[in-house]
Amino acid sequence: MEAHLVAEPILKVEGIHTFIGKHHILQGVSFDVYPGKVTVLLGRNGAGKTTTLRSIMGLLSPSQGTILFQNQAIHHMKSFEIARLGIGFVPEDRGLFNLLTVEENFRVAMLQEDEGSQQRLEFILDIFPDLKRFWKAKAGVLSGGQKQMLAIARPLVNRNELLLIDEPSKGLAPIAIEHLIEAIIKLKEHTMIILVEQNFYMASRLGNDFHLFDDGRTVHKGQMEELVANEELKKKYLGISG
Amino acid sequence: MNPKWRSWLPKLAVIVIFLLPILLISPKTYITLTISGLAMGMLLFLVSSGFSLIFGFLSVLNLAHGALFAWGAYIGFSAFSFINKWTGWGGSNSIFSNILIFLLALAAAGIGVAIIGVVTERLVIRPVYGSHLFQIFITVGAMTVMEELIRIIWGPNDEPMPVPLSFIGSWDIFDVVVSKYPLIVIVIGLILYLIVFTILRRTRLGMIVRAGVENPEMVQVMGHNIYRYFTGVFAAGSALAAIGGGMWATFVKSIHPAMGGEVIVFALVVAIIGGLGSMTGSMVGALMVGLSYNYVAYLVPKGALGITMLLLVIILSIRPTGLFPEGT
């Protein structure tokens, strides 16, 4: 809490309403993301977590409310403009280009093919050595865990200050989830992360702050340790008991 | 079907279409028909590859593609006539002059229709991204308007297409009569395929386009202005159709306003057989259609159009997404 009083939020989402067709999905979502933190968005299926990430990324346009990134309004920007400001996105379906090689996936992600990008790439490949091994292989032949590594690693070739990750553990075996957690722990020292995650174990290992979603609204927030200890909240909004 | 057999299917299909007629046709006639079939295939590749790329990358059903093909033929016709009037290169005995005027006419066709493509994409196509039904309505409308504009500008009648002097006639190679122009078409078609293939495979631009064929939203989220790429790909696809139009008109030696409608059916079939969004698929599909059409036209003239449809049915029943995946 003391850190929040000192630091300005890097991302401020205030009262956003988003429609998908005629469906009013987000009905007043508000939360802040602070530097040096992993912020976890939690809630049942259909609560609006993915829609929130897509609204931040400009893939959906909020009809009301504001989204400020480093004090700049981004809620009416196009997604390629938002990406250029330093926000990376890892969608739920990973968004890999399966017919392109691992190398080509990274090269498409690079906004500029310069020395800085090369240095960041070397750093990334140290964290994800499997990607170096499969460098010339098509992304489609990778295992589920490797695909998820590639999906998360790819946006990091640019100087992204914020990374939005949507359900990275989906469809992964427990051992792959452990590897992923270790990788993200190393990454969080270098970039801020908003994580949407159904797997509470992963969320609790990685998250610093949490925001609970229910029916398109943010209903509770706090520090992750509080949520871990609060059985009532977990049962009510996540369906987790014990 | 066994995945191993699936990967062999395109190669097997080409081999069967290529070699089976040898059993039924005399060798000399086979060679002549094969060259005609390859030439027709190259022309179909130019038209269908643009359509396939536009559908694969933009997810746009552009039924005005045939009209762009016709505009290419007419602009090529006008450019050729204009340059020939001032230089006489078209009727000259110099092969260099003949080739130069021909390439300049094709370049004019490509550039002119690329500009038309940019305007069409911005004004006609962009408002209907995401809706195939409205794309069909609006592009059919655009096709009608473009055809009528041809009639207004150039007149409603058929016009003879001028052919450079050294492109006329044939060579006698080991007692086999080989027409000159089909060979030229094959060479130019191959060169254009290699250029497009190299751009797609070896350049950053091509890499982004191939990524966009798979997932345009993700390309946008990576910081690329996908709308600029949409316009560029639409222009490139239009230019390919236009060059195909100019070359086709020289092949059949005439132009008429509705010529686009005749070829768009073939182009659609080729794009579907080859796999929408695949350059290699367009090439293989085009060669299959071109060759089979020519062989069957010789053996069973009334069955020539039917063989194209039969190919479509066979390929789609075995491989509904076409021979090659999008982006290849």
- A112: pLDDT strictly greater than 60: yes
Residue A173 lies in a domain: yes
Mean pLDDT over B47-52 rounds to 89
Mean pLDDT over B6-10 rounds to 68
Number of CB atoms found within 10 A of residue B33's CB: 20
> Residue B117: which of B230, B209, B238, B226 has the closest Cα?
B238
Q: Quick one: what percent of chain B has pLDDT higher than 90? A: 60
Residue A30 lies in a domain: yes
User: Using one digit for the tens of pLDDT, what is the confidence trace for A45-65?
Assistant: 899 999 999 999 999 999 999
Residue A117 lies in a domain: no
User: Using one digit for the tens of pLDDT, what is the confidence trace for A132-145?
Assistant: 999 999 999 999 99
Contacts of residue A100 in chain B, CB cutoff 8 Å?
207, 210-211, 214, 327
The band of A106, judged by pLDDT with boundaries at 50, 70 and 90, is very high
User: Using one digit for the tens of pLDDT, what is the confidence trace for B231-263?
Assistant: 999 999 999 999 999 999 999 999 999 999 888
Contact A95 B218 (CB under 8 A): yes
Q: Report the distance separating Cα B71 and Cα B120, nearest Å.
A: 13
Contacts of residue A59 in chain B, CB cutoff 8 Å?
217, 221
User: Using one digit for the tens of pLDDT, what is the confidence trace for B183-201?
Assistant: 999 999 999 999 998 998 8
If one counts the domains in chain A, the total is 1
Residue-level pLDDT at A3: 46
Contacts of residue B222 in chain A, CB cutoff 8 Å?
80, 83, 108-109, 111, 154-155
Which residue of chain A is at minimal alpha-carbon distance from B223?
Answer: A80
Contact B222 A91 (CB under 8 A): no
Residue A228 lies in a domain: yes
CATH classification at residue A40: 3.40.50.300
**Domain limits at A21?**
2-92+150-238
Residue from the list B207, B325, B327 with its beta carbon closest to the beta carbon of A108: B207
Residue-level pLDDT at B101: 96
Helix or strand or coil: residue B327? coil
- The interface pTM score, or ipTM, of the predicted complex is 0.90
Higher pLDDT, A31 or B129: A31
Residue A40 lies in a domain: yes
Classify strands A11-20 and A23-33 as parallel, antiparallel or unpaired: antiparallel
Calculate the CA A168 to chain-centre distance: 9
- B70: pLDDT strictly greater than 50: yes
Contact A104 B207 (CB under 8 A): yes
Give me the helices (H) in chain B, please.
3-19, 27-58, 65-87, 95-120, 132-154, 180-202, 204-214, 216-221, 226-252, 259-274, 279-299, 304-318
Tell me yes or no: is domain B3-318 CATH 1.10.3470.
Answer: yes
Residue A7 lies in a domain: yes
- pTM value is 0.84
User: Using one digit for the tens of pLDDT, what is the confidence trace for B13-24?
Assistant: 777 777 778 888
Contact B207 A107 (CB under 8 A): yes
Q: How far from B197 is each of B191, B207, B239, B318, CA to CA, in Å?
A: 10, 11, 15, 27
The Cα angle at residue A211 between residues A209 and A213, in degrees rounded to 5: 160
User: Using one digit for the tens of pLDDT, what is the confidence trace for A195-236?
Assistant: 999 889 999 999 999 999 999 999 999 999 999 898 888 888
> Residue B281: which of A239, A99, A198, A155 has the closest Cα?
A99
Residue A137 lies in a domain: no
Mean pLDDT over B160-177 rounds to 89
Q: Domain residues of chain B, as ranges?
A: 3-318
Contact B221 A98 (CB under 8 A): no
Per the listing, tokens 């949490």 go with A210
Q: How many residues comprise chain A?
A: 242
Q: Which two tokens stand for residue B307?
A: 């063989």
- A182 Cβ contact list (under 8 Å, min separation 6): none
Give the minimum alpha-carbon distance from B253 to chain A in angstroms, rounded to a whole number.
41
Helix or strand holding residue A51 (H, E): helix A49-56
Residue A194 lies in a domain: yes
Q: What is the DSSP string of A176-229?
A: HHHHHHHHHHHHTTTSEEEEE-S-HHHHHHH-SEEEEEETTEEEEEEEHHHHHH
Give the minimum alpha-carbon distance from B111 to chain A in angstroms, rounded to a whole number.
28
Q: Report the distance separating Cα B83 and Cα B80, nearest Å.
A: 5
Calculate the CA B161 to chain-centre distance: 19
Residue-level pLDDT at B171: 86
Residue-level pLDDT at B2: 61
Radius of gyration of chain B (CA): 20
